[in-house]
Amino acid sequence: RPPTASSTAPRPAGSQIWVPDRGQPQALPPGRQVTDPGPRPRTACLGIALTCILSRRPGEPRSFHAVLPPKLWIHLAVVACGNRLEETLVMLKSAVLFSHRKMHFHIFTEESLKPEFDKQLQQWPDLYTEKFVHRIYPITFSAGNPQEWRKLFKPCAAQRLFLPVILKDVDSLLYVDTDVLFLRPVDDIWKLLRQFNSTQLAAMAPEHEIPKIGWYSRFAQHPFYGSAGVNSGVMLMNLTRIRSARFKNSMIPTGLAWDDMLYPLYQKYKNAITWGDQDLLNIIFYFNPERLYVFPCHWNYRPDHCMYGSNCKRAELEGVSVLHGNRGVYHDDKQPTFKALYEAIRDFPFQDNLFQSMYYPLQLKFLETVHTLCGRIPQVFLKQIEKTMKRAYEKHVIMHVGPNQMR
């Protein structure tokens, strides 16, 4: 239909719009344009998916992500060894699908996996690759016996303990396990850094919501944080504060720097710990509770939160924000709700419509999981995905195109 007055009115400087039936996004102002060096496929779809809302033709300006100052980027770290290549790629895919700000991925992996990571990430459409940069690091341990650290709990998992030492130029960092999925923008958990008080330098979620049936409160043979311990699968860190802090401990009264503390702490407790690096983090924050910010369970939602009955109240209210599929639930049939979400993101074609190719199929898939306790609360898993898509739709279509055209 012909353009109306509202569609031809001047737009605010820097805005980029997508009109479903009229063509190209509006150009950015001079100085903000970056030319795309090559062509790529373009899909024909309504502008209700992020992939369509932000799409552009060769030669069109890149979005604001391309000009965001590096100091405002989100830094995301992951450690992937053994057979964790696919899981890690699906986790990173979930991050770029929903997030707005530019991200720097710090990937720690074995030499044999490095070429495949580079290959797979470079094959993503440039609509997504322009939202991140990535760097791949070898597995290194700066203190103690590397073979001991490598074998602690899962392969290479202890690498996360050394991130403050290795990433010396990074101020703040979000570390996640490979079996994590973002169901809302990473930007939202990154904002929790602003809620740290003057002493806090890391954030984690409780290991369990009900201490009397939690693992640490029943079985731990070492000190642990709070009444139920904390889970390290999603860990937000102010690395600058960690590097400058002196940590109280059970070894010397004067306190130790982070990198000086790790190996002596491991030597003292190695015969008492079960969950490796997570146990060491619990010990550290047992002696330094004022340094930890505890965020709610919906930022690290695991099978334990629903497999015995729903016990994460914040997820019931707000929906799951970050899904953590530990216990290998993405790859077996014990928790089909978790597996369904993993496969939906893994198999989602980048250029497709998020509503049609992810959200609606998930709703149908969840109907097959109602025989499980987790499957009886599908709204908990879908609420944040729905909110994210609705926000994107309203922001980029209704606000920028105008409600009069949306008929």
- pLDDT, one tens digit per residue, over 281-311 is 999 999 999 999 999 999 999 999 999 899 9
Asked whether residue 392 carries a pLDDT value surpassing 80, the answer given is no
Burial 21-40 (b: 16+ CB within 10 A, else e): eeeebeebeeebeeebeeee
pTM here is 0.81
C-alpha closest to that of 287 among 244, 329, 224, 340: 224
The structural domains of the chain, ordered by start, are 74-295 (3.90.550.10), 303-399 (no CATH)
Predicted local confidence at residue 37, as pLDDT:
40
Give the mean pLDDT of 90-101: 94
Across 76-104, average pLDDT: 95
Q: What is the mean pLDDT of residues 212-236?
A: 92
What's the chain's average pLDDT?
A: 82
Query: What pLDDT does 404 receive?
Result: 52
pLDDT tens per residue, range 155-191:
688 899 999 999 999 999 999 999 999 999 999 999 9
| Closest to 81 (Cα-Cα) out of 181, 180, 177 | 177
pLDDT in tens, 108-153: 999 999 999 999 999 999 889 999 999 999 998 877 677 777 777 6
The pLDDT confidence band at residue 48, using thresholds 50, 70 and 90, is very low
Long-range pairs of 89-92 with CB within 8 A, sequence gap ≥ 24: 89/117, 89/120, 89/121, 90/181, 90/342, 90/345, 90/346, 91/176, 91/178, 91/179, 91/180, 91/181, 91/182, 92/121, 92/132
Amino acid at 46: L
CA separation for the pair 383, 360 (Å, rounded): 13
The count of other CB atoms within 10 Å of the CB of residue 333 is: 8
Q: Which residues pair with 75 in a beta bridge?
A: 104
What pLDDT does 39 receive? Answer: 42
Amino acid identity, position 330: Y
Whole-Å CA distances, 86 to 179, 320, 381: 10, 22, 22
Among 5-14, 98-107, 290-299, the range scoring the smallest mean pLDDT is 5-14
pLDDT on residue 287: 96
| Alpha carbon separation from 404 to 2, 45, 114 (Å, rounded) | 13, 20, 50
Mean pLDDT of 71-83: 92
